[in-house]
Structure 1
Amino acid sequence: MEKVTAELPSRRAAPLRTAAFRRYMTASLISATGSAMAPLALAYSVIDQGGGTRALGVVLATNTVPIVVFLLVGGVLADRVSRSRLLFLGNLLAATAQGALAATVATGHATTASIAVCGFVSGTAVAFTVPAAHGAVAQIVPADQLQQANALLRLPDNAVKVLGPALGGVVVAVSGPAWALAWDALTFAVAAVLLLGLRLDAPVAVASALSDLRKGWAGFWSRTWLWTYTAAGTVLVAAWLAGFQLLGPVVAAERYAGARDWGLVQGAFAAGLLAGTVVCLRWRPYRLLAVAVVACLPLAGPLLALGYGLPLPWVLLATLLAGIALDVSVVAWTSAFQQHVPKGELGRMSAFNGVGERLAIPLGYLLTALAAGVWDNRTVLVACAALVVAAAVLNLCVRDVYRINALRN
């Protein structure tokens, strides 16, 4: 395969004309076919072996802790070694973890502890792939094509996620979660091989890793728009995940038709993500960061709908709208980040942002699990929705949010 260098392709060429981008997009699509089923399969792996809200909270928190712990290491490495090699190793590690989890679930030996251990390994893999992914896309695609490239990357992924959760719900309901987890492991393995073939050049590193980390922190703190967005995300992401991913399956099991209806909810969310991607392909907002923040507000909708026990169609509608808004937010934020951070710092800035946004997630899962034992699910879900709204509104009060805009020729 032709080696990809730091030299960017012609600005007139669309992202899909670049062979490396097509390979990266294919790997992402294949991995998405398994990842679309994984959250539901993981939740019901815990529920099927007798675990409740607290056990699921422990598992989800254990998956997040290594991301927080190792993400800075992954960020430094992403600015020092080949990003394609990091992506290969991360996906291979995730394939191993999911394969082991599928085997324990299939043989009936799964426990909360064993599921948590596999989740810890998967989280470690994420810590090394996320910073490398941000830098890899910016290394392959010109700056003025990044929004289009980010939207294109999410288009097939979100298309798979429309049917994936619903199909996963049927698979889990009929044959149990092991098959869905095994498929996830296989897709990670195939993606790993494809990503290794990118052969991206390693960034030029002239200082020590510790010096890079210190400079990275100074650069992160000097960008007010970056650390304030990250601080708001610390609260918002934790509240959203604790309400939707943790309490959502539990509420579906108690008030709705369990895995089947939760699969429909996940499918509605994925359909919204797909629709949001289509919006991003046609709409190129100038105020990228402001759009990213405002688009977080609809995430409160599904939490309120589930909390008040609305009929399933209303839950599906609220989840659909949240998915549309979230995808617009993700594409706008990713494009703003990649355009306004130098390529040599993308790994570390991505790591600091990722650590910040994930820092409260384990605590959020654990506190939500404990709160569910004291208050009813409605009270906890409404509280999570209020935190989502408050974090977004406060972030909109930051002046620099309106200064990080799209770079155009």
Structure 2
Amino acid sequence: MPDASRFPRSSPYWPVVSHPQLRRVLPGLAVSALGDGLAVVAVTWLAIQLVPHHQQGTWIALAMAAYTLPSAAGTVVFGRWLRGRSGAQLAGWDAILRASALGAIPLAHLTGALSVWLYVFLLAASALLHSWGSAGRFTLIAELLPQRHHLPANAVLASIAGFATIVGPPLAGLLIAWVGPVWVIAIDAATFAVLALTYRLALPANGGPTRDESGASRTAGFAVIRQSPALLGLLVLSLGFFFLFGPVYVAMPIHITDDLHASATLFGAYYAAFGVGGLAGGLVAGYLRGWPLRTTTIGIVVAFGVALLPLGLGVPVGVSLPAFALAGFIWAPYMSTSMALFQRSTSVAQLPAVLAANGAVLVLAVPLGTMLGGPLVGAIGARPTLLLCALAIVALGLTVGAIAISRRSSRLPDDAAVTAVSASR
């Protein structure tokens, strides 16, 4: 146990928050994350205001999809030019594009030119480099910090995002009531401008090591993953995990209204509990750096499915609500541990393309699962859908774990093997 008298220097997060360059970037990341938290509500609310009532459902879905899904296409379209760029460059360019495209929305509103079609187009444009921007943030960590600090640094990013998802939506509600959703999107654009300026001023002008990737394929990141059983298995695990959670977004509100005969207040309480649990779990993630990362990542999937079971079993709210908070606590470290596995299993030169490819696949997983949720709930009901999702997630984790154990008998343990590879570089 760390010596409490030496806190915070004994914390695994101290080397991250005290790093001379990262400590200048983290405030910009926090501001931008808060802007994204605001956008979760504002993007939907502006779509509602731009279309007639009978078209709102369709355009809400299109707006939310446009704000995320084009990043998958951007991974392939821009792969030839962006693969091999430094983490700061990738993250900075994503921030510039987001600030510009989102900033055009209030400008179009002021000139009277903002239609719902232009709105969705600008949202889609803002998302084109999102997978590369996310890859850039985690690549920057790999460039600046030794391997032992990667997991705590990833956990810092996850905690910032988790805090923003708790604070951002209710704050957005207050701001929308005051100034309207278009100006909340303007605030989101301004936060990305702050982030872009932060990358420009806080890091060296060269943005990190330069890497020659001339002639690189647009799909090089996918090729690297395909050729590595460890990375491919991790991607399949993440894809299945996120996909199987997708129907929960459909089943949860219907379960609360139809099965529990409760109001939106209880629905909000469940997600608040999940968010608080997620924030706590994100803070704990940095202390898992001594654990075997691959085993921990698989264990998170199994444990999350188990924590989700009470919802599907129809237990009283007094039990299922804390269980959902526990699910959030378990869920939170997943991105930190999985990103740490990518960081230690991939060279810094290949890491941006690999992480962008991973992000492009995962950004599709939850929407596809959510789309499945509609017919699934219609066919078997909300509570059985929640139970099926929980059982399927447990089965996924156990299956991947069994495969990992069977492969481990014929080679070095996963973390030991990675350490040996890293030491030979």
Taking structure 2 as the reference length, the TM-score comes to 0.76
Aligned residue type for 2:293: L
Conserved? CA contact 1:147–1:335, under 8 Å: yes
Letter in 2 for 1:323: G
Deviation by residue 1:206-262 (Cα, 9 ceiling, x = unmatched): 54122x845x44432232121112123223212324433x5656777886544x655
- Rounded Cα–Cα distance in structure 2 between residues aligned with 1:59 and 1:389: 32
1:192 Cα deviation from its structure 2 partner: 1.4
CA contact (8 A) 2:90 2:135 kept: no
Say which SS state the counterpart of residue 359 (structure 2) adopts.
helix
Q: 1:317 aligns with which of 295, 317, 322?
A: 322
Inter-CA distance 102–361: structure 2 relative to 1 (3 Å threshold): farther
Describe the superposition over 1:102-131 as per-residue Cα deviations: whole angstroms up to 9, x where unpaired.
678999998875554344223313133122
Which secondary structure does the structure 2 equivalent of 1:23 belong to? helix
Please give the alpha-carbon distance, in whole angstroms, between the structure 1 residues aligned to 2:39 and 2:162.
14
**Partner residue, 1:204:** 211
Query: Is the counterpart of residue 348 in structure 1 residue 353 in structure 2?
Result: yes
Aligned AA for 1:366? Answer: M
RMSD over aligned Cα, in angstroms?
A: 3.9
**Cα separation, 1, equivalents of 2:134 and 2:271:** 23
Per the alignment, in what secondary structure is the counterpart of residue 209 of structure 1? coil
Q: 1:38: which partner in 2?
A: 39
Per the alignment, residue 20 of structure 1 pairs with 21
Q: Separation in 2 of the partners of 1:177 and 1:16? A: 34
Q: Which residue of 1 aligns with 2:73?
A: 69
Aligned to 1:6: none
Asked if the contact 1:40/1:169 (under 8 Å) is kept, the reply is yes
Name the residue aligned to 2:193. Answer: 189
Counterpart position of 2:127 = 123
Indicate yes or no: 2:233 matched with 1:228: yes
2:275 corresponds to which of 270, 277, 283: 270
In structure 2, how many angstroms separate the alpha carbons of the residues matched to 1:98 and 1:267? 27
**CA deviation digits over 1:8-38, x for unaligned, max 9?**
xxxxx92333222112212211111122233
1:202 positional shift = 4.8
Alignment equivalent of 1:239, drawn from 213, 223, 244: 244
State the alpha-carbon separation in 2 of the partners of residues 220 and 71 from structure 1.
Answer: 14
Deviation by residue 1:37-81 (Cα, 9 ceiling, x = unmatched): 332443455567645766544444444432222224555545433
Tell me the distance in 2 between the aligned counterparts of 1:143 and 1:395. 25
- Ranges in structure 1 where 5+ consecutive residues have no aligned partner: 1-12
Within-5 A mapping of 1:2-21? 14-21=15-22
Query: How far off is 1:152 after superposition?
Result: 2.9
Does structure 2 conserve the Cα–Cα contact (< 8 Å) formed by 1:155 and 1:278? yes
What is residue 299 of structure 2 aligned with on the other side?
294
Alignment of 1:330-409 (within 5 A): 330-369=335-374, 371=376, 376-399=381-404, 403-405=413-415, 407=419
User: Is 2:281 the partner of 1:280?
Assistant: no
2:210 aligned counterpart, secondary structure:
coil
Preserved contact between residue 88 and residue 196 of structure 1 (Cα < 8 Å): yes
CA contact 1:64–1:362 (8 Å) conserved in 2? no
Output the CA distance in 2 between the equivalents of 1:135 and 1:378. Answer: 40
Give, as a single letter, the amino acid of the residue that structure 1 aligns with 2:210. P
Aligned length: 393
Q: Would the aligned equivalents of 1:231 and 1:356 in 2 still touch at CA under 8 Å?
A: no
Whole-Å Cα distance in 1 between the matches of residues 307 and 57 of structure 2?
Answer: 19
2:225 aligned counterpart, secondary structure: helix
Q: Is the 8 A contact 2:67 2:123 kept in 1?
A: yes
| Residues 318/287 of structure 1: CA separation in 2 closer, same or farther (3 Å cut) | same
Q: 2:6 — aligned with what?
A: none
d(CA) in 2 for partners of 1:291, 1:141: 22
The separation in 2 between residues aligned to 1:257 and 1:193, in whole angstroms, is 43
Structure 2 gaps of 5+ residues are: 1-13
Kindly name which structure, 1 or 2, has the bigger radius of gyration based on alpha carbons: 2
After superposition, the Cα gap between the structure-2 partners of 1:167 and 1:189, relative to the gap in structure 1 and judged at 3 Å, is same
Distance 2:231 2:277 in 1: 27
Distance in 2, matches of 1:88 and 1:209, equals 21
Alpha-carbon distance in 2 for matches of 1:118, 1:373: 34
Q: Structure 2: how far apart are the matches of 1:337 and 1:53?
A: 38
Equivalent AA in structure 2 for residue 268 of structure 1: A
Name the % identity.
23
State the distance in 1 between where 2:367 and 2:344 align. Answer: 30
Change (3 A) 1:217 1:88: closer
Q: State the Cα deviation string for residues 162-190 of structure 1 (Å, max 9, x = none).
A: 33334345555787644543332221221
How far did residue 93 of structure 1 move?
Answer: 2.0
Q: Give, in angstroms, the shift of residue 345 of structure 1.
A: 0.9
